[in-house]
Structure 1
Amino acid sequence: MPRGRFRITLGSRAITVDDIGLGVLLAQIHDRDEHRRVPDLHRLRITMYEDQDQSVPVGPETRGTDWLVAEVESDDVRYYYGQGYWHEIGAWHLETLREELHELLTATIDITIPVWTKGPKLTSGPKKGRDSHDEDWFNHRVAEQAGYQLFDKKNIVTSFYRGGGLEICDVLGPDCELICVKKATTSAPLSHLFAQAVNAVTALRTDKDVAKKFRDRIARHNPDHPMVRDIGTLKVVFAILLNEGEEITTDSLFAFSQISLVRSLIKLRTMNTEVRVVAIKRQ
């Protein structure tokens, strides 16, 4: 079976994909009778993985309907469909959510994230026709800076995190920043990004083997890095290229991503972890 970060199962049929979008979900039920499509979408199961070897799941499996998002506004009440249910979000709650996000999205940040430039199109291979300046290229650009260390595809493997291992971050910053990079035109990649960060921080806080191997790897590159001595207060930085370089605000960020981000923020704060969001510029 081809490898991918998402496994989609409906009955005895299973596929793997690198991304989840509305088209992918609808393709699984398009051949069903009209009255069966929504129930079958509810039966459909999606498992998100840390790695393309599908050895480390990121949380429990979810239903297909969990990935549908809709918003309807009436007077001062907004009705939001997410996680398979309709929710009524009153004006007060919505304002509180937006205030929390606004504070997060406008907070100052001390790291430097370069511009993500467009590159020449690839002329051969399985990615022929795609931009050569992909996420792998950009992570290397970030890590080229003094004091930064590349961790993309350098997963931590333990007796528990076997196979592809656990991805802690894409790049480690000079002041213990776990920099997590994602290019996103839909909410699905961001949901994966936020869940991955929570999973990584949880492992660093609760799994001594993961923490030791991570610190040892840092020490081999930079023995003077502060995290070598102690994993104290962590800092997660979500570096996001939204569409083609949009500013990240409460208006531009996808509705489902806003809720996912706030939920992840709450979890990370309980683990003594600061969170920042930075918009990647595009040229």
Structure 2
Amino acid sequence: MKLTYYLFKSTVKKFEDTIISKKVTASNNFEELKITNEKLNFETKVFIQRNKTKEPKWLKFLENDAEILDKAELKNTVNSFIIILKIYKNDNEYFFGITGGMGFTGINKDKLESDFGLKVTLNCVNPSELKAVDVRNIDIKTRQKRIHINKGSRIDEFEFDFQQDIINLVSGKSKVEKIGKNLRGTASLNLDSDIRFEILGDKCRELLDLYQSEDYKEEFDFIDNMKLIKSKELKNTLFMCLWESIGDRDEKVILTYPDMIEYERCTNFKLMYNSKHKEVEDLDIKKLYDFLDELNINKYENYEKVKVVGLDEFGTPVTTTVSIKEFIVYEIKFEEKLYIFTLNDWYYIEENYYKVIQEEVNKIALMNDGFLHPIKKGESEGSYNERHNNDYFMLMDKDNFQIPKSKSKIEVCDLFSKENHFVCVKRETSSATLSHLFAQGSVSMDLLRNVPEYREKLTSSIDNKFKHLNYNINNFPYDKSIVVYAISTDKGEDIRKIIPFFSKVNLLQHVKRIKELGMDVRLFKIPIIK
């Protein structure tokens, strides 16, 4: 029998906290059943929903233009159930929910262990018999997908990026016969097994043991690296920490641009709160705090009511108006766990994973001071790049290459040096901007290595500027080529520490690809001057 199982958080102490009381009502066709078996080894409450009817959506599409007889007979009827049970393990009590039909709509999802089904599945599934995974990446352009394979497979056959993707769902065949045949896990667990009501307590104890087991780490240790936070309760708590930090004017709160394509067109920004507004040249946390102080905005619930719109040189809005929350990047340690707010979502980051990522980024070498000029505050990238068009650098900004058999165009780089530096320049350290920057470098090097037409365009340009190099499509010195990611910032720290965490993860993927192609990578921090 296929059932869906839920585990409630340890903070749940009453049956009443497990269901949504306004949904599990007599007016919604729910009734509580009397338990007649007095020998059960668990406490339980059972609700059924009888003959819940609803008109199909297509009915309204037809009824205005066609005669439909006996419409009442066309209503969809659903019968559902909710079982809530309490078991004990080592003197601790645990609440489980089990549903059928549409019973899941009555479960209080804010009180659930968000990784219960996933953990049980990973501990119980045959690692060679996975059937489907749902993944969500952590880049600025969120990509969610479900990957099905018609034959049971291992995780590495699912095109899963172990550093950038978060697994939300796994399904496959069970390796533990007594648990069940097939299972699928997210927050809930869908399990196909031989089951009777009187042994539900034993089944839930088995599932609890699997949830608490760490056997999954042998095959799926990466699963603990990052998690998207879905619990409203936890998110509300973390938001209170964020608002308190803003109230304290904590400079650890960072502002970044949420969308690179929109915001690179802006010359100014307008901060707005109700009818009050203020224009600023650059948007950073100090400007936000000044705005809050000037308007005496001190209540936490009002912070996210501050709006931002980007303006062009004529003062015309060129972006959508969004909450300041869209710009915020914030890290906090709460109850001994590390959380990051970015891309308008909260994530849990396993601390050792965080350290490993930073250590890997620290291995990326830096270019020497003075490699590029400082950038003037408010100066455009185009103007900045043009100032480097000299005997050492060749300007390649906006010199796009049409990729064969594609509508896409790409810049080789912004600046090319006579010592084979491919310099990619970006203002500021926002996740959106950096995502685009890092991709530019790796895609360009991939094309250079693998597309003769691309190589020919580049070597022709090089020959016009630096004839002494004498490059052609057959003798390009890949092993002496270096991609330089040059990023402007007014922060005094090492650029490798300033980059937002998820951008570091993204950077490492592109560095790996570039090195596989036989080139090297460096970072350079462009100072900002007035």
Q: What TM bracket, shorter-length normalisation? A: 0.5 to 0.7
The residue correspondences of 1:1-283 to structure 2 (distance < 5 A) are 18-19=261-262, 71-74=331-334, 77-80=337-340, 88-104=348-364, 107-109=366-368, 112-118=371-377, 131=378, 133-144=379-390, 146-160=391-405, 162=407, 165-225=409-469, 227-228=471-472, 229-233=475-479, 234-242=481-489, 244=490, 246-283=492-529
Cα gap change, 1:245/1:71 in structure 2, threshold over 3 Å: closer, same or farther?
A: closer
Which secondary structure state, in structure 1, belongs to the residue aligned with residue 376 of structure 2? coil
Q: Distance in 2 between matches of 1:175 and 1:226?
A: 13
Cα gap change, 1:261/1:225 in structure 2, threshold over 3 Å: closer, same or farther?
A: same
Q: Distance in 1 between matches of 2:430 and 2:384?
A: 19
Which secondary structure state, in structure 2, belongs to the residue aligned with residue 224 of structure 1? helix
Equivalent residue letter for 2:361? L
Percent of residue pairs identical: 22
Contact 1:240 1:280 in 2 (8 A): yes
Equivalent residue letter for 1:274? D
Deviation at 1:77, TM superposition (A): 4.0
Q: Distance in 1 between matches of 2:470 and 2:362?
A: 30
Structure 2 gaps of 5+ residues are 1-139, 143-258, 265-326
Deviation at 1:117, TM superposition (A): 2.3
TM (norm. structure 2) is: 0.35
Structure 1 gaps of 5+ residues are 1-5, 9-15, 22-66, 119-130
Contact 1:76 1:90 in 2 (8 A): no
CA RMSD of aligned residues (A): 3.4
Contact 1:245 1:279 in 2 (8 A): no
Equivalent residue letter for 1:159? P
TM (norm. structure 1) is: 0.62
The structure in which a higher percent of residues are strand is 2
Which secondary structure state, in structure 2, belongs to the residue aligned with residue 180 of structure 1? strand
Give deviations 1:102-125, integer Å, cap 9, x for gaps. 232x5354872011124xxxxxxx
Give deviations 1:47-75, integer Å, cap 9, x for gaps. xxxxxxxxxxxxxxxxxxxx997655346
Equivalent residue letter for 1:93? Y
Contact 1:70 1:82 in 2 (8 A): yes
Deviation at 1:182, TM superposition (A): 0.4
Larger RCO (alpha carbons 8 Å, 6+ apart): 1
Give deviations 1:153-183, integer Å, cap 9, x for gaps. 11123533557x3211000012111000000
